[in-house]
Amino acid sequence: MERLVFHVDVNSAYLSWEAARRVSQGLEDLRLIPSAIGGDPAKRTGVILAKSIPAKKYGVQTGEPVAAALRKCPQLQLARPDFTLYEKNSKAFIAICRQYAPVVEQVSIDECFLDMSGTAYLYPDPLEIACRIKDHIRDALGFTVNVGISRNKLLAKMASDFEKPDKVHTLFPEEIAAKMWPLPVRELFSVGSATAEKLRRSSIYTIGELAASDVRVIRQLVGVKLGDQLHAYANGIDDSPVATEPEEAKGYSISTTLEDDVRSAEDAKRILLVLSDSVSAHMRREGVQAGCVSVTIRANDFKNRSHQRHLDLVTDISDEIYTVAAELFDELWDKKTPLRLLGIALTDIARGEEAQLSLFADARRERTRKREQAIDAIRQKFGADTIVRGSSLEVPVSVGRRYRARAEQERLEKEKTDLLD
Give every strand in the sheet of 35-38, ordered side by side.
48-51, 35-38, 77-79
Task: Tell me whether residue 99 is in a domain.
Answer: no
To the query of whether residue 111 is one of the catalytic residues in this protein, the response is: yes
Verify that 308 and 347 share a domain, yes or no: yes
> Residue 189: what are its φ and ψ, rounded to 5°?
-55, 130
Q: Which has more confidence, 192 or 237?
A: 237
Per-residue pLDDT tens for 5-31? 999 999 989 999 999 999 999 999 999
Task: Tell me whether residue 327 is in a domain.
Answer: yes
The CATH number for 206's domain is 1.10.150.20
Per mean pLDDT, which range of 106-120, 148-162, 201-215, 354-368 is the poorest?
A: 354-368
Q: Around Cβ 27, how many Cβ atoms within 10 Å?
A: 10
Verify that 331 and 197 share a domain, yes or no: no
Taking the mean position of all CA atoms in its chain, how far away is CA 304?
17
Per mean pLDDT, which range of 111-120, 175-184, 341-350, 407-416 is the poorest?
A: 407-416
Among 34, 54, 82, where does a domain finish?
Answer: 82
CA geometry: angle 164, 168, 173, nearest 5 deg: 110
> Residue 131: what are its φ and ψ, rounded to 5°?
-65, -35
Task: Tell me whether residue 392 is in a domain.
Answer: yes
Among 82, 101, 118, where does a domain finish?
Answer: 82
- From the list 234, 166, 153, the residue with the least C-alpha distance to 199 is 234
Verify that 265 and 207 share a domain, yes or no: no
Split at pLDDT 50, 70, 90, the class of 135 is very high
Peptide bond into 65 cis (omega under 30): no
Verify that 274 and 331 share a domain, yes or no: yes
* Confidence at residue 197, expressed as pLDDT on a 0 to 100 scale: 94
Task: Tell me whether residue 101 is in a domain.
Answer: no
Element (H, E) at 267: helix 265-286
Given a cut of 90, whether residue 35 has pLDDT beyond it is: yes
> Residue 337: what are its φ and ψ, rounded to 5°?
-75, 125
Taking the mean position of all CA atoms in its chain, how far away is CA 189?
14
Check: CB of residue 306 under 8 Å from CB of residue 325: no
Q: With the CA atoms of 88, 90, 95 and 100 taken in that order, what torsion angle do they form, in degrees rounded to the nearest 10?
A: 160
Element (H, E) at 364: helix 363-382
The CATH number for 339's domain is 3.30.1490.100
Verify that 260 and 406 share a domain, yes or no: yes
With 0-12 / 13-18 / 19 or more C-beta atoms within 10 angstroms meaning exposed / middle / buried, residue 420 is: middle
Verify that 227 and 258 share a domain, yes or no: no
Per-residue pLDDT tens for 44-96? 457 888 899 999 999 998 878 888 899 999 999 999 888 889 989 999 999 99
What is the CB-side half-sphere exposure of residue 359 using CA atoms within 13 A?
A: 14
Check: CB of residue 267 under 8 Å from CB of residue 335: no
> Considering all CA atoms of the chain, what is the largest pairwise distance in Å, rounded to the nearest integer?
67
Q: Which has more confidence, 407 or 4?
A: 4
Task: Tell me whether residue 309 is in a domain.
Answer: yes
Given a cut of 70, whether residue 129 has pLDDT beyond it is: yes
Split at pLDDT 50, 70, 90, the class of 261 is confident
Task: Tell me whether residue 151 is in a domain.
Answer: no
Which member of 18, 105, 111, 372 is catalytic?
Answer: 111
Domain tally, the chain: 3
Task: Tell me whether residue 98 is in a domain.
Answer: no
Residue 300 bridge partners (DSSP): none
Verify that 268 and 396 share a domain, yes or no: yes
- From the list 91, 198, 111, the residue with the least C-alpha distance to 159 is 111
Verify that 194 and 283 share a domain, yes or no: no
* Confidence at residue 167, expressed as pLDDT on a 0 to 100 scale: 97
* Confidence at residue 209, expressed as pLDDT on a 0 to 100 scale: 97
Verify that 214 and 259 share a domain, yes or no: no
Residue type for position 365: R
* Confidence at residue 43, expressed as pLDDT on a 0 to 100 scale: 59
Given a cut of 60, whether residue 414 has pLDDT beyond it is: no
With 0-12 / 13-18 / 19 or more C-beta atoms within 10 angstroms meaning exposed / middle / buried, residue 199 is: buried
Split at pLDDT 50, 70, 90, the class of 326 is very high
* Confidence at residue 363, expressed as pLDDT on a 0 to 100 scale: 60
Verify that 391 and 316 share a domain, yes or no: yes
Given a cut of 90, whether residue 398 has pLDDT beyond it is: no
* Confidence at residue 246, expressed as pLDDT on a 0 to 100 scale: 59
The CATH number for 71's domain is 3.40.1170.60
What is the CB-side half-sphere exposure of residue 225 using CA atoms within 13 A?
A: 2
- Mean pLDDT score across all residues of the chain: 84
Verify that 296 and 358 share a domain, yes or no: yes
Element (H, E) at 308: strand 304-315
* Confidence at residue 157, expressed as pLDDT on a 0 to 100 scale: 97
Which residues form the domain of 52?
Answer: 14-82
Given a cut of 60, whether residue 356 has pLDDT beyond it is: no
Average pLDDT over every residue of 216-226: 93
Task: Report the percent of the chain where pLDDT is more than 90.
Answer: 56
* Confidence at residue 279, expressed as pLDDT on a 0 to 100 scale: 87
Element (H, E) at 19: helix 13-24
Given a cut of 70, whether residue 242 has pLDDT beyond it is: yes
Check: CB of residue 44 under 8 Å from CB of residue 340: yes
* Confidence (pTM): 0.66
* Confidence at residue 352, expressed as pLDDT on a 0 to 100 scale: 65
Task: Tell me whether residue 44 is in a domain.
Answer: yes
* Confidence at residue 159, expressed as pLDDT on a 0 to 100 scale: 97
* Confidence at residue 20, expressed as pLDDT on a 0 to 100 scale: 96
Verify that 223 and 272 share a domain, yes or no: no
* Confidence at residue 254, expressed as pLDDT on a 0 to 100 scale: 84
* Confidence at residue 377, expressed as pLDDT on a 0 to 100 scale: 64
Per-residue pLDDT tens for 139-181? 999 999 999 999 999 999 999 999 999 999 999 999 999 999 9
Among 41, 67, 82, where does a domain finish?
Answer: 82
* Confidence at residue 39, expressed as pLDDT on a 0 to 100 scale: 72
Sign of the torsion angle spanned by Cα atoms 21, 23, 28, 34: positive
Helix, coil or strand: residue 296 = strand
